[in-house]
Amino acid sequence: MRHLPLIIVSTLLLLLVACGKTPGYVISPDKMAEIMADLHTGEAVVDANGAAYRNDSVKRALMQSICEIHGVTTADLDTSLYWYGNNLPEYVKVYDKTIEILNARIAEVEKSGAKTAGRIQRDTPDGDSVNIWRGPLMRRNTAGNPSDFISFTYNSERNWERGDRYTLYARPLNPHSPLFMTLAVTYNDGTAEYVTLNQGSEGRKQLTLVLDSAKTATNLYGTIHYSAGRGEISYIDSIALVRTRGRNDNVKARQAQHTVKIR
């Protein structure tokens, strides 16, 4: 860099410093992690009390109250989600901090003698229930997106077992169109199985594919498809792909899956 003009070197240094900070209009990483932890806790309450939160307006009121507690508006949250969504390394740092906060809360509750569902896990290669998702954790939907699809492929590796279950999670925020998800697996006998989901409305969506315990899987494929309308701004948040070990009801669990011959 010593051969570059001083003004260029100074500009590069300023840019490097700027890249490590969030703009003034974006919620700071620490506060964002606290808000996301509260949102995750709120989502758990909603999931556990579906009857009480059946109305979308009640869910939105819950989100608005969480924002008010932290002194921000839902518009501030949307703007910040958009910025973090376009700066994924920073989003990952915030998400990791969120998990730390949630795990600390779980530990505090367990210390008081209460029981919880256990620690939040993130991207670990081994275990009975792990999140193996390697893609973006959130996506902003607009009509100008280069593609309406998030696609992924995983090749067979040492941690795969026959009968494993893969569950794809996604949470649409302010959707105007249905969310379509698909999961498919290929086997070494030339067959494939797939399962799909097509749902509108807000709230967490999940799609589970159960591997055949009598076959050896070779590849796992999937897509998340959302087509945004003109002028629309919405999000797909909390994307995850969780693998759990097989259970004894393998045949029953696979009844909704479709099998096709590929060769």
pLDDT tens, per residue, the chain with 263 residues: 444 444 444 433 333 334 457 888 899 999 988 888 887 777 666 655 555 555 556 666 777 888 888 898 888 887 887 787 677 667 767 877 887 887 787 777 666 555 555 554 444 444 467 888 887 778 888 887 767 888 888 888 888 888 899 999 998 888 889 999 999 888 988 888 899 999 888 888 999 999 998 889 988 988 899 988 888 888 888 888 999 887 666 777 788 888 887 76
List the beta bridge partners of residue 153: 221
Contact 142, 228 (CB under 8 A): yes
Contact 81, 235 (CB under 8 A): yes
Q: Topology of domain 129-261, per CATH?
A: Jelly Rolls (2.60.120)
Contact 67, 34 (CB under 8 A): no
Kindly report whether the global pTM for this prediction surpasses the value 0.85. no
Measured CA to CA, the distance from residue 91 to residue 104 in angstroms comes to: 20
| Token duo for residue 195 | 């399962």
Can you give the residue ranges of every domain in the chain?
A: 6-111, 129-261
Amino acid at 214: A
Measured CA to CA, the distance from residue 205 to residue 108 in angstroms comes to: 29
Nearest alpha-carbon partner for 100 in 41, 21, 34: 34
Amino acid at 197: L
Match 């629309």 to its residue by tokens. 232
For 67, other C-beta atoms within 10 Å of its C-beta total: 19
Q: What is the DSSP letter of 234?
A: E
DSSP 95-161: HHHHHHHHHHHHHHHHHTT---S-----S-SSSSEEE---S-S-EEE-TT-S-SEEEEEEE--TT--
Amino acid at 175: P
Measured CA to CA, the distance from residue 171 to residue 235 in angstroms comes to: 8
Measured CA to CA, the distance from residue 225 to residue 197 in angstroms comes to: 10
